[in-house]
A and B are shown apart, each in its own frame.
Chain A
Amino acid sequence: MRFGKFVILGLGFGLLVSPAAGQSAPLQERARMRENLATLRLLRMTKALDLSEEQAARIFPTFNRIERDKLVNQKRLSADILALRNFLRDPKARDEDIAARLKSLKDGQAALKAKDAEWDDFLEAQLTTVQKAKYLLFQIEFYRGLADVLDRAGLHRGEMGGAPRAPVRK
């Protein structure tokens, strides 16, 4: 891959060195999963779109910034989901507490969508028409590939939002 090492180095400076530091082992592992996904996405996208060096120089910094912003929201989503599960197991949980968590979760989800939209708008302005077409198909392929990864990890249930598994999170 033409920019493979450059991509990893870029992400190393942009993402890998900061968020996991000073966290507990499970939190570090969770942060590493998000970073691995971002790295894999950027590597595959660079290859799929056949980005020129000029395009890569414009695109990578924005990718890093948006991914860093998304990490904050992702951590918040993670905490909100855990809290919701705990509330639903607790018969004494108050409706207003559940509602507050639910609102926080939906806000976090909306913030993530806004970041994704910001990224798509930015990227669209950088690509040629053919690259836009390739990006469209790349997104499908990437999430198919992600489904394969989840499958190999024994997690994929055919489709996101399939039958719920028993909560085993600590």
Chain B
Amino acid sequence: MSCDRRRRRISDDLDGVLSPGRSKKLAAHLALCLDCRAYRRGLEALQAAVRSAPGPARSPEDGARAIGRLAAGIREESGRAKVRALPVSRRIRPWAWAGAASLLAAGTFLFLHLRPAGVTEAVLPDAFEDPWISLAGRLDDADVARTFAASLQSALNESLREIQGEVVPFLDRQALFLEDLSDEEVRLVNQELAREIPD
């Protein structure tokens, strides 16, 4: 997977919407990738700046300037990370690379074979995930919120059409069904309903 795609997940992770499985994979990648770590720091700085910004509404021009400053900050941070990385890489000997590769292979093997059975990565349905990933890459919050709401509404309407055939006939007939129960059946249903309702 490319760093570009992982960076979208960094954004999701910071928003708290990344699944635990993907979050673990992302953490593993961040441990190895200086650029993505720098990108994450930049996004964290962006979030901190937004949180600490004064409350009153700002003009679109202010927003554009702030985004420009933050984008420059991210680039600068990313550049510093690369500069710091160079001396480290020069000191690394070939045998160290071989050792690191062996450790990585052993770690991957252990992770794949020792993780608890039945634990699978939670995956959002494509209809929800894909529009969000593409929208999350944009910086205009109001625009993102509007487009996301429209996307969710559209998915909701589609789901409603799909389940109408399943639910509506059931709802239409359930009143008749319940009113036609005998006294004994009503008593049994009440017993079961009472178990469902907390005291």
Contact = CB atoms under 8 A, between A and B. Distances in A.
Q: DSSP majority for the A interface?
A: helix
A154 interface: yes
Contacts of B160: 136
Query: Chain B interface: which size bin?
Result: 35 or more
Given A43-B197, A153-B192, A155-B189, A133 B167 contact: no
B81 interface: no
Contacts of A29: 183, 186-187, 190
Interface residues of A, number: 45
A149 B188 CA distance: 9
Interface string A141-170: 001011001101111000111000001111
B181 A149 contact: no
A160 B173 contact: yes
Contacts of A78: 179-180
A112 to B, nearest CB: 5
B167 A130 contact: no
Given A33-B189, A39-B197, A155-B189, A109 B175 contact: yes
Contact of A149 (B149, B153, B175, B196): B196
23 contacts: A8-B197, A30-B183, A33-B178, A33-B181, A33-B190, A36-B194, A40-B196, A43-B198, A74-B178, A77-B179, A129-B153, A133-B152, A139-B171, A140-B166, A143-B170, A146-B174, A153-B185, A155-B181, A159-B170, A160-B169, A160-B177, A161-B177, A167-B182
Interface of B: 149, 152-153, 155-156, 159-160, 163, 166-167, 169-194, 196-198
